[in-house]
Amino acid sequence: MKLQEQFSLSGNGADMARPKIVKKIKTRNHFVHVGDLLVTDYAQVGGDLTVDGNLTLKGPLFCLGRIKVNGSLVAVEVMAGQGIEVSGDLEAHSLRYVYEACSFSDGVEEVARQIATFSPGFKADTECVEDALELISDPATLEELDSEGAVRVYAVQVSGSCILDGPLHAYGGVAVGGHFSPDECYVQGHIEAGTVCVDEGDLDCYGLDVESWVRVAGDLTCTDVSCSHLEVEGSVVAEEAVVVHGGDTMQDNKDAAPYRSKRVEAGTKSKGVLASLRCSGLKAGSVSAGGSILVDGRIECTDGYLRAGRSITASEKISSAKDFGILAGLDVARSLWLKDGYVCAPSKPQRLLTGTYRSIGKRRPYSDPKPTRLK
């Protein structure tokens, strides 16, 4: 039986100790393999792909259904119609066009077209959707995928780390047990992870719930954020709350994000200390930080309080919602507000409820001015 016609590969005995090696996988049905699998070229599956072991591809992986790997997954590029579930680590150049099955019947044609575009043997001048679907999946398998519905919470679910050298575009949530690191990320759903590092571009999602630190090289746009430390090279825009529950940390602290903004210089009082929230512009419904807040730009809270356990510093205006206010130095004794519980901006913000205001120099917006005696 030719490989492109078979839907299942398995080994036994001594063969299970080493990976099964095949050149390519091409089937219009579901594909199941027991044991580790090494594919030296590409894989194209018209249904679900299930591997009970590690899966390694030296080329791309295209799957119209759902990818489930009970081990680690390594591939050049991964595209899945109904999401990805990996019990180990996931490493790839990019994840593309991951549709949630609640809209599978509407999105399957687009997925098929995209898979066909990158699939060997498909004519580049063929744009007919029916031709793409016929090439990739047989009618029975396609009907089965559609009937299963599979309304899943997560489009991408990885128990270990998820490392991508390129972008992630997902129509659904992302859950990563360890470190999550794409070059850029656009997710129509929530992201849950241990740590997040977006190396080059923006991070756009519905919600961000991270156990430890978050680093974004571009802008961060979401509904709400919860993490221990947040460092964003660009601006932060959140419709609801930004909650950073960690305090300020030393630069050599291994738990702190290994990232220093090029535009936002150290703005906390003590040398070698990282603020718990650092970015180049902050707009949210409400903001709460366990340590200091340092912003190279404006801070605006539209529907709640601006809270900080220590100091709040901005190079531009700081404002809060009219019926709320600004609270700095919540974790600092009142006698130490001038040192570690101040609000520093070009002008004194309205509704400053706790903490003390300290003026900021025009030439050195992030210098820590010497405290002056209160009159």
Taking only Cα atoms into account, the Rg of the chain, rounded to an integer number of angstroms, comes to 25
CA nearest neighbour of 304 among 356, 233, 239: 239
For residues 270 and 368, what is the distance between their CA atoms, to the nearest angstrom?
A: 10
For residues 42 and 328, what is the distance between their CA atoms, to the nearest angstrom?
A: 56
Q: What is the pLDDT of residue 274?
A: 66
Q: What is the pLDDT of residue 275?
A: 76
Q: What is the pLDDT of residue 199?
A: 87
Q: What is the pLDDT of residue 7?
A: 46
**Cα 182 to the chain's mean position, in Å?**
7
Check the CA dihedral 295-300-303-305 and report its sign.
positive
For residues 222 and 363, what is the distance between their CA atoms, to the nearest angstrom?
A: 33
Angle (CA) 178-179-182 rounded to 5° is 140
Q: Which helix (H) or strand (E) holds 70?
A: none
Residue 144 has what DSSP assignment? H
Pairing label, strands 299-301, 318-319: parallel
For residues 353 and 84, what is the distance between their CA atoms, to the nearest angstrom?
A: 48
Q: Write out residues in the chain with pLDDT < 50, as ranges.
A: 1-7, 10-16, 100-104, 124-126, 149-151, 250-273, 362-375
